[in-house]
A and B are shown apart, each in its own frame.
Chain A
Amino acid sequence: MKHLAYWLPRPLFSLFLAVLWLFLMNTVSIAHILLGLVLGVAIPFITQGFWPEQARAGHPLLVLRYVRAFLWDLLCSNLVVARRILGRTRHLQPGFVLYPVELDDEFAITVLASTISLTPGTVSTHYDAAQHTLLIHVLHLEDEEVLIQQIKTRYERPLQEMFQ
């Protein structure tokens, strides 16, 4: 049992990599299944030193709801930013916002920062682990409080539920 945990630090991740390999090749043959399994065992084993904590996924339904909200926001904010780019850039009011992070899980914080970066109009620039703050650059800053509340209710709360 101990040996198994040593050679297979993340069994689910290994399976995911093997399936991913088959998808990439777009074929299902014995050779590719074997190659995928070899990669699935080798990659987590070699890289495990770089990420000590286990990445956990939340309830699939919550994840799905999060992805849906995220895609919708992606669409909306894209339209808003497109208008800003084509409009008079001299009237833009860029700014930095210090966002207080409430999440504890490192993986959840990574997801939050990535979500903020992917939605156009906001890019997360720096995470201060000591003070639990995320520095965000905003393309057009109107009201700091509104933005913080928006991120809190739309992304951080669902993430909190997911990784609890």
Chain B
Amino acid sequence: MTTTEIPFLLELVIAFFLLIGALVALLGSIGLARLPDFYTRLHAPTKASTLGVGCTLLGSLLYFSFINEGISVQEGLITLFLFVTAPVSAHMMAKAALHRRVRCVRRTRNVPWEGDES
């Protein structure tokens, strides 16, 4: 059985979003591997989980809205939940690291526990 025929243009747009999403997720992983310390590494996943997942979901939304002939809202909900929960986990990790005074690269400016604040 063949699936419903998708217009070529829509196919292109969906593929574009999926590829961009995958690319951004890849960049996030590269960042996770390359960046020098814990704090800078926190920045990479926020990137992958916002733009990367956002683009992938946009592609998925377009595809399923067309296939099922009705707007598929679940992708929107996933995005919403992700945007609400991602900062919380990043915040908790950063807080824990601050509390334990996890070492950061030497050139980091204004390190809070080195006494040049307040």
User: What is the chain A residue whose CB lies nearest that of B30?
Assistant: A85
Known: A96-B111, A96-B112, A126-B94. A23 touches B24 (CB 8 A): no
Q: Which residues on A sit within 8 Å (CB–CB) of B43?
A: 81, 120-123, 139
How far is B37's CA from A163's CA once the two chains are assembled, in angstroms?
37
Q: How large is the interface on B (under 10, 10 to 19, 20 to 34, 35 or more residues)?
A: 35 or more
Nearest-CB distance from B116 to chain A (Å)? 10
Interface residues of chain A: helix, strand, loop or mixed (majority): mixed
Nearest-CB distance from A68 to chain B (Å)? 14
Nearest-CB distance from B45 to chain A (Å)? 9
> Counting CB contacts under 8 A, is B83 at the interface?
yes
> Counting CB contacts under 8 A, is B117 at the interface?
yes
Q: Which residues on B sit within 8 Å (CB–CB) of A78?
A: 24, 47, 50-51
How far is B105's CA from A66's CA once the two chains are assembled, in angstroms?
35
> Counting CB contacts under 8 A, is B107 at the interface?
yes
Q: Which listed residue (B40, B74, B98, B107) contacts A23, Cβ 8 A?
A: B74
Q: Which residues on B sit within 8 Å (CB–CB) of A75?
A: 51
For chain A residues 23-77, which have a beta carbon within 8 Å of chain B?
A: 23-24, 26, 74-75
**B77 x A20 contact (CB < 8 A):** yes
Interface size on A, residues (CB 8 A): 38
Write the B5-29 contact mask toward A (1 if CB under 8 angstroms, else 0): 0000000000000000000100100
How far is B51's CA from A98's CA once the two chains are assembled, in angstroms?
27
> Counting CB contacts under 8 A, is A101 at the interface?
no
> Counting CB contacts under 8 A, is B44 at the interface?
yes
Most buried by B among A95, A115, A137: A137
How far is B37's CA from A94's CA once the two chains are assembled, in angstroms?
10
> Counting CB contacts under 8 A, is A15 at the interface?
no
Nearest-CB distance from A25 to chain B (Å)? 9
**A94 x B104 contact (CB < 8 A):** yes
Q: Which listed residue (B36, B46, B88) contacts A120, Cβ 8 A?
A: B46
Nearest-CB distance from A148 to chain B (Å)? 12
Nearest-CB distance from B28 to chain A (Å)? 8
> Which residues in B have some Cβ–Cβ distance to A below 8 Å?
24, 27, 30-31, 34-37, 39-40, 42-44, 46-47, 50-51, 54, 72-74, 76-77, 83-84, 86-88, 90-91, 94-95, 97-98, 104-105, 107-112, 117-118
14 A-B pairs in the complex with CB atoms less than 8 angstroms apart: A78-B47, A82-B24, A82-B27, A98-B110, A114-B84, A117-B86, A118-B86, A120-B47, A123-B43, A123-B91, A124-B87, A125-B91, A125-B94, A135-B112
Q: Which 8 A-B residue pairs are closest in the complex by CB-CB distance?
A: A95-B109, A117-B87, A125-B94, A114-B87, A85-B31, A120-B47, A96-B110, A78-B51
